Chain A
Amino acid sequence: MTVKELMDKGWFKVINEGDDTERDIEKVFCCDLLSIAMGKAPAGCAWVTVMGNINTLAVATLADAAVVILAENAALDENATAKAEQQGVCVLATDMPIFDAALMIHEALNA
């Protein structure tokens, strides 16, 4: 499933589309602690988190996540939004809890 296919499901609000929506999503990853995400998030993952600050975007870029999904209505602050645009990171949002959002993506990946 590509990032675009995930967006097209209409489950999530699109905060920033990013530059590479044709990219394949490899796996779902969940964690809010940045250094754990940095160490464990696989390249090409869909990263589900409630941390919407600029450091989330830095980690997503450097660890090479395919898409960030902000769960629990977590907002992306102003600086983070600017960073997402500048770095071309795809950011989606939902009011669902982390597990529910992640499970939904996981099931779509394995469908």
Chain B
Amino acid sequence: MEDAIVLKYQVIDGEFQRAGEVSSDVKHKLKQLGVPADIVRKVAIAMYEGEVNMVIHANGGEITVEITPEQIRMILADVGPGIPDVEKAMQAGYSTASDATRNLGFGAGMGLPNMKKNTDSMDIETKLGEGTTITMVVRL
């Protein structure tokens, strides 16, 4: 991992106005590094969905992105309520989003499926009352 570039970001609870900033920044950096456009798009989509979930369902947290010549690994660690039933949460259309967040256009229950679809691997570690860590890898 000697060639790894590591980026770290804080995601702030309830900051709807800023949701997407981390993903935009990562997208920009990957483009600068010359990563192919289709890979950049996949990473951007997966990161955005994960970032928004940290803002609307969890209490914010930290995002780490590791870039090597082989892959891009995203680690999204939040300090939210955890996910009681991961299998159910992964189903397309399942959502516990509040009316307020639905009014903003969230709540289709497609975020986690989009993350899965756009990455080569996705792992969810979650503990009720403690938080959730999602690790996703996109291979270059």
Q: Which residues of A contact B (CB under 8 A)?
A: 32-36, 38-39, 43, 51, 53-59, 61-64, 79, 87
Contact = CB atoms under 8 A, between A and B. Distances in A.
Interface string B94-110: 00000000001111111
Contacts of B24: 58, 61-62, 87
A6 B108 CA distance: 30
A62 B52 CA distance: 13
B20 interface: yes
Chain B's interface size range is 20 to 34
Contacts of A79: 17
A56 B16 CA distance: 12
Contacts of B105: 32-34, 51, 53, 55-56
B23 A39 contact: no
Interface hub of B16, B52, B105, B108 (most chain A Cβ within 10 A): B105
B19 A55 contact: yes
B41 A33 contact: no
A36 B110 contact: yes
Interface of chain B: mostly helix, strand, loop or mixed: helix
Contact of B111 (A35, A55, A64, A87): A35
Interface of B: 16-17, 19-20, 23-24, 27, 37, 41, 44-45, 48-49, 52, 104-111, 113-114, 117
B16 A38 contact: no
Given A34-B105, A55-B16, A58-B23, A39 B41 contact: no
9 contacts: A32-B105, A33-B105, A35-B111, A38-B45, A43-B41, A54-B20, A55-B106, A59-B48, A61-B20
B117 A39 contact: yes
Contacts of B104: 34, 51, 53, 55
Nearest to B27: A62
A59 B19 CA distance: 10
A38 B44 CA distance: 10
5 A-B pairs closest in CB distance: A58-B20, A35-B110, A33-B108, A34-B105, A62-B44
Contacts of A51: 104-105
Nearest to A32: B105
A34 B27 contact: no
